[in-house]
Amino acid sequence: MKTRAAVAFEAKKPLQIVDLDLDGPREGEVLVEIKATGICHTDAYTLSGLDSEGIFPSVLGHEGAGVVVDVGPGVTSLKKGDHVIPLYTPECRECEYCLSQKTNLCQKIRATQGKGLMPDGTSRFSYEGKPIYHYMGTSTFSNYIVAPEIALAKIREDAPFDKVCYIGCGVTTGVGAVIWTARAEVGCRAVVFGLGGIGLNVIQGLRLIGADQIVGVDINDSKKAIAEKFGMTDFVNPKELGGKEIVPYLVDLTKGGADYTFDCTGNVTVMRQALECCHKGWGQSIVIGVAPAGAEIQTRPFQLVTGRVWKGSAFGGARGRTDVPRIVDWYMDGKINIDDLITHKLPLDKINEGFDLMHEGKSIRAVVEF
C-alpha cells in the first residue's frame, strides 16, 4: 500500500512529504494508521546529524497515536480497530530485562530497532524501489506504519488522538522520571533544568506527587508563565544572575541543595550543574536530556563520594504496555494536563514549521494531525 510520510532524506535538510510504499505486517507485526504525532526535540536531534544512531533516509517521529488496521500472523493481543500508542521502548514481558523488574529497557528488538529495521532485519518502507529506514521502531511521521506487537500499547477508545499522542514520549518521560526513576516523595525540593516539552511534564509530575518546592531553570523567560501554571514555585534564568554562579545560587534557594534535580536540556554543562546543586548526602540528579554523539559529562568524584547520585531515565522508566494505558487514564480523569502543553497543531505538509517553532523556543509541543 501507499502511505504519505515526511521523510528525512538527509541530515540537516527539511523533511520532504512524499508517498512511500509500505509492505504489510509480517509475523508478530501490526499495521497502524497514525492519526496524530507530536514533534519531540529528539527528532530534531537525530535530524541534526548528531545522533550516533541516526540513519538516512528514514521516517522520523516517535510520539504518535492511531488505530490498528491489520495484524500479521501470530499477533494475539491486538485486533483491527484497537486504539494504540507506538512504543520506542517496547515491553515483551519475557526478555531478561523485562523479567528483572529492575528496568523498563526491554532489549528484545533493540538491536534491529537501532539499525532502522524491523525485527526480521528488513524495512517495510520503500521509495522508488529503495528502502527507507524506520526510526525508533515507530516512524510516526508516516500516516501508516508497521510496528511489532510488543511495541504497541492498547489504549481506551474515547481518548483523543491529538492529545494522547504526547504520552508516546514527552508526558510519560517527564511524569515517569519523577514517579518511576526518582521515586520522589511528598514534601521534596526539586530543580528542573529546561522548561520545554519534557521539563514541564517533570514539573507536573512533581506537583502530582506533592513536592514542596519546584524550581525551574531556563534561559528563555517566555517559559516562566506556563511553568508556573504547571506547578513551578521559583524561576531562575541563569543569564540573569548578575554574575552569580548558578550552583551555589540554587543550593541556597533550596536551603542546602535539592532532593531531586532533572536535566531536560541535553547540555552536558547543565547536567554537571544539576548534579552539583543536589543536596549533600542524598540528592539525586536524573539525566533525561540526550547529548550529542561524543559529548561527555564531568564532575569531581567527591560530589558522588559525598552522597549525590547520578541517574539516567529513558521513557520515564515506564513499562510501555503496562504504564501507558494508565497514563491515558490519568489524562482522561483530569489528573494530568496535556491540552495546555499542545501549543500548535499542523497538517503533515507543514511539519517543518513545527521544527522551526521548537528551535525558536515558541512551541511546547507542536502536534501533526493526519
Give the C-alpha separation, 158 to 13, whole Å: 37
Q: Which one is catalytic: 62, 207, 319, 321?
A: 62
Q: Which residues contact 334 (CB under 8 A, 6 or more apart)?
A: none
Residue 168 interacting entry, from ligand NAD, ligand AHE, Zn ion, none, C-beta within 5 to 8 Å by type = none
| Interface size with ligand AHE, residues (CB under 6 A) | 13
Residue 358 interacting entry, from Zn ion, ligand AHE, ligand NAD, none, C-beta within 5 to 8 Å by type = ligand NAD
Residue 53 interacting entry, from Zn ion, ligand NAD, ligand AHE, none, C-beta within 5 to 8 Å by type = ligand AHE
Q: Which one is catalytic: 3, 37, 83, 98?
A: 98
Cis? peptide before 57, omega within 30° of 0: yes
Q: Is 39 in the site for ligand AHE (CB under 6 A)?
A: no
Q: Is 40 in the site for ligand NAD (CB under 6 A)?
A: yes
Q: Is 106 in the site for Zn ion (CB under 5 A)?
A: yes
Interface residue with ligand NAD among 139, 254, 265, 303 (CB under 6 A) is 265
Contact 29, 147 (CB under 8 A): yes
Q: List, in sequence order, every residue forming a beta bridge with 342; answer none if it has no partner.
A: 365
Q: Is 40 in the site for ligand AHE (CB under 6 A)?
A: yes
Interface residue with ligand AHE among 52, 100, 101, 298 (CB under 6 A) is 52
Does the active-site annotation cover 26? no
Given the complex with Zn ion, which of 103 and 237 has the nearer CB atom? 103
Q: Is 113 in the site for ligand NAD (CB under 6 A)?
A: no
Residues 307-336 binding ligand NAD (CB under 6 A) are: 313-315
Given the complex with ligand AHE, which of 142 and 213 has the nearer CB atom? 142
Does the active-site annotation cover 92? yes
DSSP assignments along 176-219, one per residue: HIIIIII---TT-EEEEE--STTHHHHHHHHHHHT-SEEEEE-S
Does the active-site annotation cover 62? yes
Does the active-site annotation cover 278? no
> What is the grid cell recorded at 208?
502530582
Residues 115-174 binding ligand AHE (CB under 6 A) are: 169
Q: Which stretch binds ligand NAD (CB under 6 A): 29-37, 158-166, 187-195, 225-233?
A: 187-195
> What is the grid cell recorded at 80?
483491527
From residue 4, alpha-carbon distances to 24, 25, 113 in Å are 15, 17, 22
Q: Is 315 in the site for ligand AHE (CB under 6 A)?
A: yes
Task: Locate the DSSP E strands across the chain.
Answer: 2-7, 16-22, 29-38, 64-71, 83-86, 125-127, 130-132, 144-148, 152-155, 189-193, 213-217, 234-236, 260-263, 284-287, 309-312, 342-347, 365-369
Dihedral of CA 41/47/49/51: which sign? positive
**Residues recognised as catalytic:** 40-42, 62-63, 92, 95, 98, 106, 110, 169, 365
Which residues lie near ligand AHE (CB under 6 A)? 40, 42, 51-53, 89, 105, 110, 169, 290, 293, 314-315
